[in-house]
Amino acid sequence: MNEQPTAAPGPVVRLIEEFHKLPGVGPKSAQRLTYYLLRMPVAEARALAEAILEVKERIVFCATCQNVTDTNPCRICDGDRRDRSMVCVVEEPMDTLAVERSGSYQGLYHVLHGAISPMDGIGPEDLKIEELLARLRGDEVSEVILATNPNLEGEATAMYLTRLLRPLGVKVTRLARGLPMGGDLEYADDVTLTRAMEGRQEVEQ
């Protein structure tokens, strides 16, 4: 059976399909982005394409905290003014930006790159948990702040990590409930994040 002809040229259709693969981009949004790029000056389109390639070619995971970086270790891990006795565990690299924006925290980070979600087929082995445990085998870290998102997946991840971390002798705290249940850390405002960080509590057994 022959395919139905389309009014759009092949390269346009391909770009729409590629945009549609991005999270949160539906068919209409993919079309709008594609036709916007068609109207864009060639120099600007080339700059966009080069920026995408540069991110893919130069950005790596920090060997220490697993955050995205173009230096290894990253600038936070390599900084001499950070409190190395605290590690804040977050789900995604965007979460570190949210916490840093609040200005309420001066310790180090660890990025899990996700949360435990059996429905999505994501288990503990899919996260950067072994890397976290390896960091804590030394004597430098005395507190681990669990800053996973306040939703079912985030809570499950925090509970799982608590069971692993308790035997290591480190203090395990959780951000206070200034963060709404079901929300994402990256969308929290600076005041809410500051209060949550200041009001963190030790996780009960």
Torsion from C-alpha of 10, 16, 21, 26, nearest 10 degrees: -150
Find the mean pLDDT for residues 101-125.
95
Least confident of 80-94, 130-144, 188-202: 188-202
CA atoms of 13 and 183, how far apart (whole Å): 35
Whether pLDDT at 134 is above 50? yes
Domain identity same for 84 and 172: yes
Q: Which amino acid is at 169?
A: G
In this structure, the answer to whether residues 79 and 48 fall within a common structural domain is no
- Taking each continuous run of H as one helix and of E as one strand, the counts in the chain are 8, 7
Which tens digits make up the pLDDT trace of 17-28?
A: 999 999 999 999
Are 39 and 68 within one domain?
no
Beta bridge partners of 122: 117
Where is the domain boundary, 37, 58, 79? 58
Q: What pLDDT digit, counting tens, does each position of 170-184 carry?
A: 999 998 766 666 677
pLDDT band of 132, cuts 50, 70, 90: very high
Q: How confident is the model at residue 1 (pLDDT cuts 50, 70, 90)?
A: very low
- Number of other CB atoms surrounding residue 75 within 10 Å: 12
For the segment 110-125, the average pLDDT, to the nearest whole number, is 96
pTM listed for this prediction: 0.77
Kindly state whether residue 132 falls inside one of the protein's structural domains: yes
Question: Same domain, yes or no, for 45 and 89?
Answer: no
Is 66 a residue whose pLDDT tops 80? yes
What per-residue confidence (pLDDT) applies to 193? 80
Separation CA 50–CA 5 (nearest Å): 32
pLDDT band with cut points at 50, 70 and 90 for residue 152 = confident
| pLDDT value of residue 7 | 76
Quote the DSSP letter at residue 151.
Answer: S
Q: Are residues 172 and 152 in the same domain?
A: yes
Range of the domain at 155: 62-202
Query: How many domains does the chain fold into?
Result: 2
Domain check: are 118 and 152 in the same one?
yes
First-to-last C-alpha distance (Å) of the chain: 63
- For residues 23 and 94, membership in a common domain is answered with no
52 shares its domain with 37: yes
